[in-house]
Amino acid sequence: MAPLAVRGGNCATAAVGMDDGMDNEDVGVGQTRSVDVVIIGAGESGLAAAYFAKRAGLDHVVLEAADVAGSAWLNRYDSLVLYTPRRFSALPGLAMPGRPNGYPTRDEVGAYLQQYARAMDLDVAYGEPVRRVTLAASTRTAARSASAHAGRGAPGFVVATVTGTWRARAVVVATGGCHLPIVPEFGTQLPRDVFQIHSGEYRNPGQVAGQRVLVVGAGNSGAQISVELAGAGRDVTIAVGDRMRFMPLTVLGRSIFCWGETLGYNYIGPSNPLVRWTFGTGEVIMGYALRDALRDGRIRSVGRVLGFAARHGFLAADDAGAAAAIGAFDAVVWCTGFRPDHGWLAIDGALRPDGQLRQAGGVGDVPGLYAIGLPWMRSRVSELIGGVGRDAAWVMRRVERQLGESAAAGGGGRVVAVDALR
358-373 tens-digit pLDDT: 999 999 999 999 999 9
Q: Is 236 a domain residue?
A: yes
- Is the pLDDT reported for residue 148 higher than 50? no
**158 and 17 assigned to the same domain:** yes
Residue 330 inside a domain? The answer is: yes
Mean pLDDT: which of 293-302, 375-384, 404-413 is highest?
293-302
Q: Of 362, 367, 364, nearest to 390 (Cα)?
A: 362
Does residue 168 lie in a domain region? Answer: yes
* Residue 394 belongs to some domain of the structure: yes
Asked if residue 228 and residue 312 are part of one domain, the reply reads yes
Q: Is residue 261 part of a domain?
A: no
Domains of the chain: total = 2
Residues 310 and 354 placed together within one structural domain of the fold: no
What average pLDDT does the segment 304-313 reach? 89
- φ, ψ of residue 348 to 5 degrees: the values are -60, 130
Residue finishing a domain among 300, 319, 334: 334
**Band of residue 40 on the pLDDT scale cut at 50, 70, 90:** confident
One domain for residues 372 and 231 = no
334, 367, 400 - which closes a domain: 334
User: Does residue 312 form part of some domain?
Assistant: yes
Report how far residue 207's alpha carbon sits from residue 215's, in angstroms, rounded to the nearest whole number: 14
Angle between helices 388-408 and 44-55 (to 10 degrees): 50
At 345, which CATH number? 3.50.50.60
- Three-state DSSP at 111 gives helix
**Residue bearing the bigger pLDDT, 126 or 135:** 135
User: Tens digit of pLDDT for each residue in 256-286?
Assistant: 888 888 888 788 877 777 766 665 545 688 9
Residue 274 lies in a domain: no
Report if residue 73 sits inside a domain. Answer: yes
3-state helix, strand, coil in the chain (%, to 5): 30, 25, 45
Highest mean pLDDT among 11-25, 65-79, 106-120, 391-405: 106-120
Residue 42 and residue 112 share a domain: yes
Same domain, 154 and 194: no
| 126 shares a domain with 85 | yes
pLDDT at position 312, please? Answer: 83
Please determine, for residue 390, whether its predicted confidence score (pLDDT) is greater than 90.
yes
Alpha-carbon gap, residue 132 to 22, rounded angstroms = 9
Co-location of 109 and 238 in the same domain? no
The domain in which residue 367 lies consists of 8-175+338-419
137 pLDDT above the threshold of 90 = no
pLDDT at 419 over 70: no
Residues 89 and 155 in one domain: yes
214 has pLDDT over 90: yes
User: Is residue 70 domain-shared with residue 150, that is, in the same domain?
Assistant: yes
pLDDT of residue 273: 74
CA angle, 64 then 392 then 338, to 5°: 65
